[in-house]
């Protein structure tokens, strides 16, 4: 990202704002985000989730609904309105930019910030799940860095644990820092059950933020069990 688009480094994160991003798409961001919610709630905090822009939504009698956003809503206490959890629900399962264009929707950061503010009223923490990896735009003209900066959010990086993730994780951490955001911690998401402890040790030594925990390989997503694998005291 060039200097013209670089977000100015501001004060430390405001209480309650965490943005979850990943080293790539399909690395378990939703499970990690829901696990974070359970772990934060386990410490007595009111924690709610948010998926500002979601593609691949299904039509229901209540309107368009996204599976990931519903998972975050289910893991949230107090229970938030779906429209605030997912202000932009887009039907086509593709990159959010393309899904928004196909739906004739212009994503407005002010609408996202307003929904986040409503969620924050009843919560101690708002966990905001991004789309894809850090450098994947949320919408035309809207980068993860722009939204995270506007929310004064610390960033949590989900690292998909498989061969090759060391480079992806280090590149993501450097990009987050270059954009003027603080990497508050990272979560290992075990995609390969045979992932070695030696490789995991390399990640711990290489990333400039604490490991909040490693979610084990699961046959099906279990956010409550995944939450027990996390230590969120530093958040």
Closest-CA residue to 36 (of 20, 13, 54): 20
Any catalytic annotation for residue 51? yes
Closest-CA residue to 129 (of 210, 72, 212, 47): 72
Backbone angles phi, psi at 178, to 5 degrees: -65, -30
Closest-CA residue to 53 (of 17, 83, 20, 96): 96
- Cβ atoms of 10 and 180 closer than 8 Å: yes
Q: In which element (H, E) is residue 227 found? A: helix 223-227
- The Cα 125–Cα 24 span in angstroms is 24
Q: Active-site residue among 51, 125, 168, 182?
A: 51
Kindly list the catalytic residues.
51
């Amino acid at each position: 990202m060039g200097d013209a688009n670089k977000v100015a480094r501001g004060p430390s994160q405001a209480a309650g704002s965490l943005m979850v991003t990943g080293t790539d798409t399909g690395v378990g961001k939703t499970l990690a985000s829901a696990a974070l919610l359970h772990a934060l709630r386990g410490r007595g905090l009111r924690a709610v989730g948010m998926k500002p822009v979601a593609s691949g939504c299904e039509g229901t009698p209540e309107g368009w609904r996204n599976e990931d956003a519903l998972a975050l809503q289910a893991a949230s206490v107090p229970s938030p309105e779906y429209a605030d959890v997912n202000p932009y629900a887009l039907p086509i399962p593709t990159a959010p930019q393309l899904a928004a264009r196909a739906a004739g929707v212009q994503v407005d950061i002010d609408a996202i910030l307003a929904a986040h503010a409503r969620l924050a009223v009843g919560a101690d923490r708002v966990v905001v799940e991004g789309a894809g990896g850090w450098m994947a735009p949320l919408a035309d003209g809207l980068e993860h860095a722009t939204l995270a900066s506007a929310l004064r959010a610390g960033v949590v990086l989900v690292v998909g644990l498989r061969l090759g993730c060391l480079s992806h994780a280090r590149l993501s951490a450097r990009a987050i820092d270059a954009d003027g955001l603080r990497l508050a911690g990272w979560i290992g998401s075990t995609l390969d059950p045979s992932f070695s402890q030696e490789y995991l040790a390399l990640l711990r030594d290489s990333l400039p933020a604490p490991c909040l925990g490693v979610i084990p390989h699961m046959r099906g997503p279990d956010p409550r069990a995944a939450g027990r694998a996390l230590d969120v005291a530093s958040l």
